[in-house]
């Protein structure tokens, strides 16, 4: 089992909990039906009406949260867009990238990317740029929804000073409730594995702890740059 693959350990923990409750190790169809019934009988609270182009709303809200945003037609165009951003901000050509995005032609854009989690030990040279995708994005708040897995490590958007995210326009939903509904639909099946962590990112890390002065990058990335994939 790799460092980031916690599926077996988590399964063992839940099996012990269910055993102490005198339930079988596996979730039954009746239990899943009971959860679905509960959700069906408890309607959502008031939500804002979000109409029109969700990608435009997402961009506007992201920029209000101090993210920068670019748009390209397809995922294949993303490496060149990332290279332009790194050159503009004099951030070099090296980055770590989610293993799930390793198939894009980063080298053709002049980038040296490594499909791994960023280094945690600064004495070994901290990784300054992390490139991720996202599970979904929320138009209402300009928020990224990121699910952790061995191929989508959470540290990639938490440790580097610069976080660059590729956002397929087809994955932009109106509200947070829509994002969780999508997660249940795609990751809540009998054979599916829910993520170890669900992280929501709305712009760069910030704090106002000291004299109510906003400081960016205090607990995470100083920069967040989003590349919206209009055709994906």
Helices vs. strands in the chain: H and E counts, helices first: 5, 12
Which among 201, 104, 208 is positioned nearest to 160, based on CA atoms?
A: 201
Q: List alpha helices for the chain, DSSP H.
A: 7-20, 29-41, 54-64, 78-88, 176-187
Q: Please tell me the distance from the alpha carbon of residue 159 to that of residue 219, in angstroms, as a whole number.
A: 9
Percent of the chain with pLDDT over 70: 90
Same domain, 160 and 54: yes
Same domain, 168 and 217: yes
SS3 call for 70: strand
Taking 60 as the threshold, does the pLDDT of residue 4 lie above it?
Answer: no
Same domain, 143 and 96: yes
Taking 70 as the threshold, does the pLDDT of residue 2 lie above it?
Answer: no
Same domain, 219 and 113: yes
Q: What is the count of structural domains for the chain?
A: 2
User: What pLDDT sits at residue 5?
Assistant: 59
Percent of the chain with pLDDT over 90: 58
Which among 40, 61, 205, 23 is positioned nearest to 137, based on CA atoms?
A: 61
- Which structural domain, as residue segments, surrounds residue 72? 50-229
User: What pLDDT sits at residue 191?
Assistant: 60
Same domain, 37 and 66: no
Tokens, residue 213:
């002065």
Tokens, residue 186:
């795609």
């Amino acid at each position: 089992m790799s460092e980031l693959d916690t599926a077996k350990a988590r399964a063992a923990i839940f099996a012990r909990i269910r055993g102490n409750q005198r339930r079988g190790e596996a979730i039954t169809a009746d239990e899943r039906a009971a959860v679905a019934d509960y959700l069906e009988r408890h309607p959502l609270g008031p939500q804002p009406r979000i109409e029109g182009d969700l990608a435009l709303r997402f961009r506007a809200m992201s920029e209000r949260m101090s993210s920068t945003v670019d748009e390209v037609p397809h995922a294949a165009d993303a490496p060149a867009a990332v290279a332009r951003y790194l050159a503009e901000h004099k951030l070099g050509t090296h980055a770590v990238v989610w293993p799930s995005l390793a198939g894009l032609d980063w080298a053709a854009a002049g980038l040296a990317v490594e499909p791994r989690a960023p280094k945690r030990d600064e004495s070994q040279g901290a990784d300054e740029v992390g490139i991720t995708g996202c599970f979904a994005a929320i138009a209402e708040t300009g928020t990224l929804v990121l699910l952790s897995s061995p191929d989508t490590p959470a540290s990639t958007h938490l440790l580097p000073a610069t976080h660059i995210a590729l956002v397929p326009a087809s994955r932009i939903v109106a509200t947070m409730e829509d994002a969780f509904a999508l997660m249940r639909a795609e990751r809540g099946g009998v054979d599916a594995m829910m993520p170890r962590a669900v992280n929501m990112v709305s712009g760069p890390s910030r704090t106002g702890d000291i004299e109510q002065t906003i400081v960016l990058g205090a607990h995470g990335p100083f920069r967040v740059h989003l590349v919206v994939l209009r055709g994906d």
